[in-house]
Amino acid sequence: MTDYQLFATTPKAMEDILANELKALGAKNVKQKMAGVAFEGDLKLAYQSCLWLRTASRVLLLLDTFEVKSQQDLYAGVQRTDWSKHLNADDSLAVSFNSKNNSAITHSHFGALKVKDAIVDQMRSQFGTRPDIDTERPSIRVNVYLHNEIAQLSLDLSGESLHKRGYRATQVIAPIKESLAAAMLLRVGWPTMAAQGKSLLDPMCGSGTLLTEGALIAGDIAPGLQRDYFGFLGWKSHDEALWQALLDEARQRRDIGMDKLPVMVGFDQDRRTVTAALQHIENLGLQSKIHIEKRDISEASAAESWPKGLLICNPPYGERLGDEAQTTTLYRTFGEVLKQQFTGWQAAIIIGDPELGFRLGVRSQKPITMFNGALECKLLRLDIDEKSFFEPKAKSQQERIEQVNLHSQTTMADSQVEMFANRLRKNLKKLASWIKKNHIHCYRLYDADLPEYAVAIDVYQGEKTWVNVQEYEPPKSIDSIKATHRLAGVLSEISKVLEIPSQQIYLKIRRKQKNTEQYEKISDSRHFHIVEENGCKFWVNFEDYLDTGLFLDHRPMRLLIQQQAKDKRFLNLFAYTGTASVHAVMGGAHSTVTIDMSNTYLDWAKRNFTLNNITTGNHQFIRADCLEWLYDQAHAQQKPQFDLIFLDPPTFSNSKKMEELFDIQRDHVQLIRNAVALLSIDQDGIKEKMGILYFSTNSRRFKMDSEALSDLSIENISATTISEDFKRDAKIHACWKITYK
């Protein structure tokens, strides 16, 4: 058989695993590249690669390489290939095009159109007709990669990403792709452990991806065996007999391997994901091989009859600022479960922030870098034994505040304090004209401008001027006494520069968080004050909660909603104190629906409505888990319709009121799809969706998965939603305008 030049793509940091897989298949001249592996082999190996590779995304068969300095070069280069050898004139075609920024053609859509034109023009000139375009399941998919001036023209033998194994319910979005799950398992040596009869357990299994991949590996089951579509099936050079022989061989290996599967168990506290996991397992024919049950992480344990083995999971991760005591709950609980219930086991945990690993209280080996989509993560490998245990330490917020209050009475003059005071005066002068012109009453004056003074200072003006000071916890390398003295100096200088009594300055300690603890109560003063914003009035509280009831960085977004709300049906999800809903009503919204799962904040929202003389009328307040409410409404036969939706979810949530653990990075695709399903339709019945979804997140590491949402129009409007007082911190939030194409 002819040997082909082939290339298998994979996420960054997985190239070596993929190379080992290819070598095991018998590939020749295996060479690791960035995000892929080049290799050589015959048609049988090409088919085996599509069928058996666990960590590959696509398998490309190289047709030609040529120079491209212009769009004409691209067109001519593609036409050098005789396309009648690859497809018939009445077949279908799809094209993907990628290039580096320094190439002659950098626009992927334009490049794909030129490639398509070259192919269909050639076919039309030969046969008088042309192939159709089918982006879903074409007869062949053509791939062009342009690097500098060299283009590689290939057939995509996989057709669609190989992480799609063919067993997953289409409406269920996995927290991690199957290829990453397989890479995790291969990286920590699961094949050897499985051969030794060791158990596999995922205590936060979600829809079961790690368990199903673990079973496919342990059972010698080809990951592509369940798929009914590959890119080569419609290719004119496809050898059906060879393909069927490879499928028969894979089925025989599966039948033998099924009898060798070890104990595999998954727990999850969310009934919906448990149901999804059970369905996926059944789709793979593994219902008697993998045990799944609804169980909270605090109740995870191994039966005595299970051989000790590998505990692996992808727990929620994200970023948020808030009260450390609350954020650590999930990970400290997980760590205690590992220590008490899984001594003698090995563990593998993928996390978005290495700091989370310390909160487990179990020392790990050197973390391994991996990528979950665009997000860089760390794979921790733990040996669960007493030698590895330690107790994470944390200082309470109240203790820190009391220390600062004590030092504020006795702090000595510090030459650097004057530098801080000068910065405050400079910022006030810089913002003065903007504040006056835009009638701003609440704004951020200072945000860690000087490294020595890592605080955020927000000014609220009502019947008095109040200042909300948030200290970013100093690193452990900074002496705590010195840090406390500095903070006391900050409070003193704020009082002097702004000419307000110290009683009108409020201090809170913020630490790096992955939760929604800005909502957690820290006092019970019940002292509320009135402030104004763009014609709207709001109640704020500086003492009882970490945040005040008004997120200042979203001021431009609230104004945008107010300007676009006239006669619109507005939906406010994760509404907090309902400030965006007030703006919508003041902008003339026909109706509003304000949803939050906290009675406290819904009551606060209603008080904000009353403060603005808004009667309930067409305005609803719903106490609900927004995730569950959105899912139910998006899948209802009679969906509610909204013209304007604001979706500002927490980065991470493990609230007791929520049934599922939520992480914005891994869960945002399904969340956005559920919200888009409620957007209004043109009154004339045209398919084009006319409603607008504004999606916002405070996660600084967040990456929008545009590929998974390619059927939507997604516009990053972050720059237009960052106001003058927040420009020093452009990553304070990110916002997108989302509609149907």
Burial 87-121 (b: 16+ CB within 10 A, else e): beeebbbbbbbebeeebbbeeeeebbebbbbbbbe
- Which residue reads 């769009």 in tokens? 71
- Predicted TM-score (pTM) of this structure: 0.62
Give the span between the Cα atoms of 320 and 307, in whole angstroms: 38
From the number of C-beta atoms within 10 Å of its C-beta (0-12, 13-18, 19+), residue 45 rates as: buried
Cβ proximity of 594 and 668 under 8 Å: no
Fold of the 529-740 domain:
Rossmann fold (3.40.50)
Q: What angle do CA 263, 267, 273 make, to 5 degrees?
A: 120
Give the span between the Cα atoms of 531 and 395, in whole angstroms: 33
Give the span between the Cα atoms of 565 and 585, in whole angstroms: 7
pLDDT, residue 101, reads 66
Give the span between the Cα atoms of 488 and 503, in whole angstroms: 14
Fold of the 178-224+250-388 domain:
Rossmann fold (3.40.50)
From the number of C-beta atoms within 10 Å of its C-beta (0-12, 13-18, 19+), residue 413 rates as: exposed
Which of the 8 DSSP states describes residue 395? Answer: -
Q: Which amino acid is at 185?
A: L
Domain boundaries, the chain: 4-156, 178-224+250-388, 397-513, 529-740
Q: Give the residue ranges of DSSP H helices in 128-239.
A: 178-187, 190-195, 209-218
- The string of DSSP letters for 23-79 reads HHHT-EEEEEETTEEEEEE-HHHHHHHHHH-SS-SEEEEEEEEEE-SSHHHHHHHHH
The CA-atom distances, in angstroms, between 63 and each of 74, 92, 253 are: 14, 18, 33
Length of the chain: 741
273 three-class SS: helix
pLDDT, residue 661, reads 66
Low-confidence ranges of the chain (pLDDT < 70): 1, 101, 170-174, 317-328, 393-415, 473-484, 510-525, 653-661, 682-689
- Which residue reads 């060479």 in tokens? 31
pLDDT, residue 738, reads 95
pLDDT, residue 475, reads 55
The CA-atom distances, in angstroms, between 320 and each of 101, 395, 671, 701, 730 are: 33, 18, 19, 11, 16
- CATH code of the region 397-513: 3.30.750.80
Beta bridge partners of 620: 593
Count how many Cα atoms sit within 13 Å of the Cα of residue 111 in the half-sphere of its side chain.
26
pLDDT, residue 452, reads 79
CA 528 to chain centre: 35
Check for a shared fold between 178-224+250-388 and 529-740.
Answer: yes
- The crossing angle, in degrees rounded to 10, of helices 480-498 and 415-437 is 40
Cβ proximity of 6 and 38 under 8 Å: yes
Enter the tokens of residue 500. 């307000």
pLDDT, residue 8, reads 98
The answer regarding whether domain 4-156 maps to CATH 3.30.420.40 reads no
3-state SS, 444-481, equals EEEECCCCCCCEEEEEEECCCEEEEEEEECCCCCCCHH
Cβ proximity of 643 and 691 under 8 Å: yes
pLDDT, residue 685, reads 46
647 three-class SS: strand
Using only the alpha carbons of the chain, give its radius of gyration: 29
The mean predicted confidence, pLDDT, of the chain is 88
